[in-house]
Chains A and B, each alone.
Chain A
Amino acid sequence: MTQLNINVRHVTRIEGHGNIIVNAKDGKIEQITWAIPESPRFFEAMFRGLSYEDVTWIAPRICGICSIAHSTASIQATEAAFGVQLSEQTMLLRKLLYHAETLQSHVLHFYFLAAPDFLGVGSVFPLVNTHKEVVLRALRLKKLANDLADLIGGRKTHPNSCVVGGFAKFPEVSQLKTMQQRLSQAIGDLKETVKLFKGLEIPDFIRETEYIALKDPKEYAFISGSIASTDTGIAAVTDYLNITNEFCVPQSTAKFSKHNRDSYMVGALARFNNNYSQLLPEAQKAAEELGLKALCHNPYMISVAQIVESTHAVEDSLRLIDQLLARELKEEKPDVKVKAGRGIGAVEAPRGILFHDYTYDDNGILIEANCVIPTNQNHNNIQKDMETLVPRIINQPQEEITHMLEMLVRAYDPCISCSTHLLEVKFV
């Protein structure tokens, strides 16, 4: 009799993270579970009773990696509720800031989380000894993204210059020009990144699923447009609850989602599958070189889609700075008139579509909030991927199965317990 018991429990910091549980006897699978046992957070409850200005200040603190996404979704929800009209300059700056986050999160993901897997080392640390230039390149790209976030958002993380209706601080022309030079140089680093990943072996695992992302007829969407599904087409952002359909499952305190099928995917690959034709030329070239074609049904290719999107983010940033420099940058004052109402903000966080849904009273006090995060939309897809993958690899050694499943979860890079960074130590 052969018995397989995989139980990957990631207990770090304060509470449990995602757990992978697989049990099988004589090749017969008894259990495959992706479980998220961490305590739910109650940020929405904290929002209630706060003024819209305070909500703007608090929202970016929900997550350290996706702080610009939470900030933007929050601001856009409030703007939708109040009916605020935005200037062209505000939209240009907002998109530019947004690319900073996409780039910094993706760089961290494909260099620090995915690359060690594909290069056959346990983590980024041994990579420093064998591929130091790779790590230095990652840090260089990360620093560029941090500095861009600082220039437009006022801080490297948790932006403070984005406000409802516009910006509270504006970059100087000379700063934009310097940033543009640095972004141009980064194209070289991204080409090297493509070269590196091109040579790596990515697991060949196909499971068809539904892909959901924002779609804008004008551009590869990050902060504008409607909701697109590769199965069902376009839906209005205001219909998001009919898309996300969150539900509870016994194995997890985090909610799961489904739409047209058993599960759906959000994130870089979902965006690519919906919007690939709108990628800018260098990004299209990167996709071709990396062998990424829509529709791609291999979740291990999420990291590859992130490299393509990083190239797009840098290219589009160069274009946005051109547009900002071509016009005279003005210190515009936000024009906000508070009124009662409900508004929904939808953005593409690095890990996928994120919704903030707020209702305000006459005085601009928040009375109801709902946030649907990308990771909760992906949990069910991770579960279904595991259910398909495990039977295909069941005869491999337990270590190999565990590694494949961990790699799968890492590809999605779930946002679990992102809200605490308390340092837990034992003294020696």
Chain B
Amino acid sequence: MLKETAQAKIVIIGIGNLLLGDEGMGIHFVRMLNEESLDYANLEIIDGGICPEFASFVEDAHKLIIVDAIKGGKKPGTIYRFSIDDVMVDLPVKLSLHQMGVIDSLKILKLVGREPKDTIIIGIEPKNIDCGLGISPEVKKGLAELRKIVMEEIKKADS
């Protein structure tokens, strides 16, 4: 049964470029979720595209789930689920705003004290990030697995 706004707000944001094959898997994923009717009232699903800074999109979230293609050196289709503290990230001096990304946005939110209480990053190792609108069979298969992870997270927040 749907609950109203007393529920903690969950934001799911997909990141990526739809024009570059598996790079766009985050967007394919949120589109897939948008086609379902999810049993959670206070849920926002955002197509973040390739916007370099999404801090202002998600600052009121209680739980933030970021979905992105992830290059972690494993075989294509591998599912990743981690928090920001699990990874080593390089934040070099930037020459262009186009070099900003997920980690920068999270770090900004944290520094201004507006970070969601709980943030998880999930994604799939891409196979092909060349120009093209489709995704590889490996990533397509992984999307169903990501859906399971998201459903568990929603269930946890609801309990």
Given contacts A62-B19, A428-B87, contact A158 B129 (CB under 8 A): no
Interface size on B, residues (CB 8 A): 55
Most buried by B among A17, A46, A135, A424: A424
Question: What is the CA–CA distance of A417 and B57 in the complex, to the nearest angstrom?
Answer: 23
13 contacts between A and B (CB under 8 A): A12-B99, A46-B133, A60-B49, A63-B50, A67-B51, A108-B53, A146-B57, A156-B46, A158-B47, A420-B17, A420-B20, A423-B15, A428-B88
Q: Chain B 5-43 against A: per-residue CB contact (8 Å), 1 yes, 0 no?
A: 000000000011111100100000000000000000000
CB distance from B48 to the nearest CB of A (A): 7
Given contacts A410-B96, A421-B102, A423-B101, contact A46 B48 (CB under 8 A): no
Interface size on A, residues (CB 8 A): 61
CB distance from B98 to the nearest CB of A (A): 4
- Measured between beta carbons, the chain A residues less than 8 angstroms from B123 are 423
A319 within 8 A of B: no
Question: What is the CA–CA distance of A61 and B80 in the complex, to the nearest angstrom?
Answer: 25
Question: What is the CA–CA distance of A419 and B102 in the complex, to the nearest angstrom?
Answer: 14
A-B contact count (CB 8 A): 187
A356 within 8 A of B: no
- Measured between beta carbons, the chain B residues less than 8 angstroms from A409 are 95-96
Majority secondary structure, B binding face: mixed
18 further contact pairs, Cβ within 8 A, besides A64-B50, A105-B97, A427-B86: A8-B95, A58-B133, A61-B19, A63-B50, A108-B52, A123-B94, A129-B111, A132-B112, A157-B48, A406-B95, A409-B96, A417-B99, A419-B20, A419-B50, A420-B23, A421-B50, A423-B101, A426-B72
Asked if A12 and B90 make an inter-chain contact with CB atoms under 8 angstroms apart, the answer reads yes
Asked if B68 and A421 make an inter-chain contact with CB atoms under 8 angstroms apart, the answer reads yes
- Measured between beta carbons, the chain B residues less than 8 angstroms from A207 are none
Question: What is the CA–CA distance of A10 and B68 in the complex, to the nearest angstrom?
Answer: 22
Question: What is the CA–CA distance of A420 and B26 in the complex, to the nearest angstrom?
Answer: 12
Asked if B94 and A156 make an inter-chain contact with CB atoms under 8 angstroms apart, the answer reads no
A415 within 8 A of B: yes
Asked if A139 and B129 make an inter-chain contact with CB atoms under 8 angstroms apart, the answer reads no
- Measured between beta carbons, the chain B residues less than 8 angstroms from A129 are 111
Give the 6 A-B residue pairs with the shortest CB-CB distance, closest first.
A64-B50, A143-B56, A128-B111, A418-B98, A157-B51, A158-B49
